[in-house]
Amino acid sequence: MSQHRRGQGPSLRFTKMHGLGNDFMVVDAISQPFRLRPDMIRKLSDRNFGIGFDQLLVVEPPGLPDVDFRYRIFNADGSEVEQCGNGARCFASFVRDQRLTNKKIIRVQTAKGVIELRVGRQGMVTVNMGVPELNPPAIPFAADRQKTVYTVDVDGQTVDLSAVSMGNPHGVLVVDNVDTAPVETLGPRLESHPRFPARANIGFLQIVDRSHARLRVYERGAGETLACGSGACAAVVAGCLRGLLDSRVEVELLGGRLVIEWKGDGAPVMMDGPATTVFEGQLRLPGGDKPSRRPKQGKPARQRS
Ligand SMILES: N[C@H](CCC[C@H](N)C(=O)O)C(=O)O
């Protein structure tokens, strides 16, 4: 952040990007100091009073050997999460555009492991999203044993869903038609359902044929988005496990199309799609954080009279 005039907070450079309409504020926290509290992220994600975004993506120096960057993700509600597939494609495009790397194969460390980003032509990026996690405690999802389909009680209604982690938790329901699926009503109730102790992203999957699907996702911490990359991966895994999909699937989301490939147990999920830069900006944060008022060492806090 550049030096700031008296009484004004520091400025922060950012880039606005999207992956199929799932939109992001992207910040290079390598060449500028960066610290945003959850309440600030919530304010900035507001589409009327702030910049407006589904997620904030932060580029940091690597914290592990043989990776190029650390990739941090914050939802619009300020929660920090483990994975963002559409964001990963934008991350790859961003670090090259900002000359933070000239590599075409970029390894990034997320909260739940390392993913590999391969930059292709015309803004396309292929992401190795890692091996899906199906073991309930690791998703996390409350179940006494691992199953392909679980029956969940939602306010007296029973719902069949699969539970998959792509680093972040997903519940996937198969529906006849995504256009009439109860995304607005069932989505939020499942997102915060007690069987998902860390909440979850809820996908509504329509099988068109064995290599084509349609998907809408009610995202954890953001609501319904125009696309969800990790959600598309989780949905294809669920569809394959149910015997409804082949290994390579074109997934049509509200904002466009992703190609997802999963060769089955133990194999990583590969995602191929676009990354788009919309504009670059600079914002002035409100006055810097007040240093917290802690009593000096050895001196008891002043007793309030
Ligand atoms: N809402 C998600 C993070 C963003 C995922 C999505 N935007 C994607 O493209 O994967 C979560 O809380 O796990």
pTM for the whole thing?
0.91
Nearest CA to ligand 1 atom 13: 168
100: Cβ contacts below 8 Å, ≥ 6 apart: 28, 30, 31, 59, 69
* CA–CA distance, 62 with 248 (Å, rounded to integer): 32
Please determine whether the domains at 11-127+277-284 and 136-267 fall in the same fold group of CATH. yes
What separation in angstroms does the CA of 215 have from each of 58, 133, 161, 227? 27, 20, 14, 8
The structural domains of the chain, with segments of one domain joined by +, span 11-127+277-284, 136-267
Fold of 11-127+277-284: Diaminopimelate Epimerase; Chain A, domain 1 (3.10.310)
* CA–CA distance, 74 with 35 (Å, rounded to integer): 12
Ligand 1 in contact with 170 (CB < 6 A)? no
The pLDDT tens digits along the chain (305 residues) read 445 555 577 899 999 999 999 999 999 999 998 888 999 999 999 999 999 999 999 999 999 999 999 999 999 999 999 999 999 999 999 999 999 999 999 999 999 999 999 999 998 999 999 999 999 999 999 999 999 999 999 999 999 999 999 999 999 999 999 999 999 999 999 999 999 999 999 999 999 999 999 999 999 999 999 999 999 999 999 999 999 999 999 999 999 999 999 999 999 999 999 999 999 999 988 765 443 444 455 544 444 33
Q: Which of 75, 192, 272 to mutate to test the pocket of ligand 1 (most atoms within 8 A of CB)?
A: 75
Length of the chain: 305
How many of the other CB atoms lie within 10 Å of CB of 297? 5
Ligand 1 in contact with 45 (CB < 6 A)? no
Which has the closest alpha carbon to 27: 44, 8, 47? 44
For 192, the token pair is: 């915060």
CATH H-level superfamily of 136-267:
Diaminopimelate Epimerase; Chain A, domain 1 (3.10.310.10)
